[in-house]
Amino acid sequence: MKAGENTLNSRMSLQILKTLQRVDPKVEKQDREVRGAVLEDYVKFMTTPGTHNDTYAESFHRSFFKDWSEEKEKYTSAEDLLKFTDNR
């Protein structure tokens, strides 16, 4: 990373806030629906080349994607990701 660039965690925090604002700006939806949207955007963000250039990922990111990558199917939809995390 170059000096002044945001870390993966700060980029991800901003991404989650954008997702929350887009999905539930009035904070009216059910928690599960919002969590599903956050998970869906998280996986999309983390698996899309060029979204960040931080070479270090915290253990919780590495653990999540280790488990995710070991699945036969790479879940990407909100509902499938919720089931994956519930079972995890």
In a domain, 70, yes or no: yes
The parent domain of residue 41 ranges over: 8-87
State the pLDDT confidence band at 54, using cuts at 50, 70 and 90.
Answer: confident
Tokens of 64: 């999540």
> The pTM is what?
0.89
Query: Is 30 contained in some domain?
Result: yes
Q: Give a yes or no: residue 16 inside a domain.
A: yes
Would residue 68 count as lying in a domain? yes
Instruction: Please indicate, yes or no, if residue 2 is contained in any of the structural domains.
Output: no
Mean pLDDT, range 61-88, rounded to an integer: 96
The answer to whether position 43 is within a domain reads yes
Q: What is the number of structural domains in the chain? A: 1
In this structure, is residue 3 part of a structural domain? Answer: no
- Say if residues 73 and 83 touch (Cβ distance below 8 Å): no
Average pLDDT over residues 30-40: 97
